[in-house]
Amino acid sequence: MANKKWQQRWSFDFTDDAALDAEIAEAEARAIALADAGPCAEAVWYNSERQLIEIQLKNGAIFSFPPHLAQGLTNAAPHELENGCLGADGLSVHWDSLDADFSVLGLIQGIFGTKTWMAELGRRGGQRSSVAKQQAARANGKKGGRPKKTKPRQPHPDE
């Protein structure tokens, strides 16, 4: 008997060709609906001059991002970045040599990797200092520093 942990539960009977055909048709309809609903890409390339991955969508818009933001592309050489390809449905981008996959919608939404990867990007970004950040810190320092946290007022028992 196969290990129950690895048993697959199917929603149709393999012996019934009509049920299998219906399941395939339903899956194809879902794929078409996803392609119609989400942003679909028609081209992806690495722009070495600008050092950006650029994705052209079917609606004519072009989305770009620096490869160092994306998990798996950080240390990639330009010739590796040039080998990006689209999934057949235009909903995903893949780099075979880097074993990196991304959904087009996720990239547009700013999701460049796992939750851990994104948390690390945020942590590194928070450490960066800008002129505005430096000026705000100096102004707060002149006022005595960061304001102390105060306890919220507790209601009086008679209230």
Overall number of domains in the chain: 1
Residue 119's CB: how many other CB atoms inside 10 A? 11
CATH of the domain at 65: 3.30.2020.40
Range of the domain at 58: 41-116
Residue 78, domain member (yes or no) = yes
DSSP string, 119-153: HHHHHHHHH---HHHHHHHHHHHHTTSSPPP-PPP
Residue 112, domain member (yes or no) = yes
Residue 147, domain member (yes or no) = no
Read off the pLDDT of residues 26-58 as tens digits, 9 standing for 90 and up: 888 887 776 666 688 999 999 999 999 999 998
**Amino acid in position 59:** N
- How far apart CA 61 and CA 108 sit, in angstroms, is 11
Residue 98, domain member (yes or no) = yes
Residue 145, domain member (yes or no) = no
Read off the pLDDT of residues 93-149 as tens digits, 9 standing for 90 and up: 999 999 999 999 889 888 888 888 888 878 877 666 778 878 888 888 888 777 777
0.75 surpassed by pTM: no
